[in-house]
Amino acid sequence: MSKKVLILILAVVLVGALAFYFTRSSAPEVATDTTSFKIGLITGTVSQNEDEYRGAEAAIAKYPGLIKHVTYPDNFMQEQETFIAQVTGMAADPEIKAIVINQAVPGTVAAIRRVRETRPDMIFIAGEPHEDPPLVEPVVDVTLIPNQPARGKTIPQLAKEMGAKALLHYSFPRHMSYAQLAERRDLMKEECEKLGIEFVFVNAPDPMGEGGIPAAQQFILEDVPRQVAQYGKDIALFSTNCAMQEPLIAAALQTGAIFPEQCCPSPTHGYPGALALEITDEIKGNFPAILKAIDKKIVEMGRGGRFATWPIATGYLHSIGGVEIAKLALEGKLDLNDIDAVSKVLSEVADTEIVMTRLSDNGNFYMYVGDSYIFGK
């Protein structure tokens, strides 16, 4: 064999060895590709809860191909078996390693227990659970919900900061039978006494009762001016019911009263309707842009410093934040039992500070409060 041929053979062998080495070196990157798993996401429809649906859209846009999204029935109370079938159907897909349920409507606990029989390692993230916390906590890996008892203190404190001399709390017996809502009311009253604010409780019509939502909303529009006439404009308004938020904001705008935050804090809860503000396709799901639009309207009306909310919708946060938490956990980058780490992830997604506490020491039922955004301040 000639020397030239021998050199050529050695060169070919060397190139092949180098190619094999670099191919082997790049293999770990392929192993960590997020397409090795998928995340199921179940939310309400746009008509049921637009915020959680928009959060799902944002998560899908952020992680194309990672998420399988379905919506639970609008009439979920009467269609629990349909909802349970959606959860178990998702879990039947071996690629899906985690499921985010937002809101965790009735039937969630039963669905998770059914899935655990065949998929014990499935990760479940639940947003805004409807079922009793002691039932939810043992079966869900992470639960996300605003801290209602803590808000019993933070809402009066915010109202005081905004100049309130009284705090008006609208509710009705059905809501006051809920332990956390009743506890929040009692804590509000105690905090108001500490701050030197008069606490006023008013029974309003139950939107589920005779007359329905229209009667409840009409009551708010008629009663707020009466209360402002009695206690003055420096009265802060609060209600436990979602349907009452828009008329409360409208009445506060009209009378000059203070509105610290909604029952479910969100820039999109009540404000667009009360302000006749259209949430266009350009800004939907863009909370900084929505806040700016609301801010402009309120300042133009001369009501700056009198209205506030949290800077992101909790429903939106639970969808996109739940996906982020599940993804990091599946990648081995997040310990779901580490409340500080989970809180940090949620704060980064929300782009605002989230302060989180546990319901008990034995589970990951995480309750939180967010920062407040005062319009026109």
Same domain, 52 and 114: yes
- Indicate the number of domains in the chain: 2
Same domain, 206 and 59: no
Instruction: Give φ, ψ of 238 to 5 degrees.
Output: -150, 145
pLDDT at 24: 33
CA angle 229–232–237, rounded 5-degree value: 95
> Is 319 in contact with 100 (CB distance < 8 Å)?
yes
Same domain, 291 and 195: yes
Q: What is the pLDDT along the chain (377 residues), one digit of tens a residue?
A: 544 444 444 443 444 443 433 333 333 333 334 458 999 999 998 877 788 999 999 999 999 999 999 999 888 878 899 999 999 999 999 999 999 999 898 899 999 999 999 999 999 999 999 888 999 999 999 999 999 999 999 999 999 999 999 999 999 998 898 888 899 999 999 999 999 999 999 999 998 788 888 999 999 999 999 999 999 999 999 999 888 999 999 999 999 999 999 998 999 989 999 999 998 888 888 899 999 999 999 999 999 999 999 999 999 999 999 999 999 999 999 999 999 999 999 999 999 999 999 999 888 999 999 999 999 98
288: in domain? yes
Report strand pairing: 166-171 vs 123-127: unpaired
Same domain, 131 and 53: yes
Same domain, 267 and 118: no
Same domain, 261 and 138: no
16: in domain? no
pTM: 0.79
First to last CA, the chain: 87
100: in domain? yes
Q: Which domain holds residue 283?
A: 149-310
- Domain end position, chosen among 310, 329, 347: 310
- Domain end position, chosen among 286, 310, 334: 310
Q: What is the CA radius of gyration of the chain?
A: 26
Torsion angle, alpha carbons of 124, 59, 41, 73, to 10: 140
Same domain, 86 and 195: no
Same domain, 124 and 237: no
CATH of the domain at 60: 3.40.50.11400
Q: Could you give the angle at which helices 80-91 and 108-116 cross, rounded to 10 degrees? A: 30
Same domain, 159 and 302: yes
CATH of the domain at 220: 3.40.50.11390
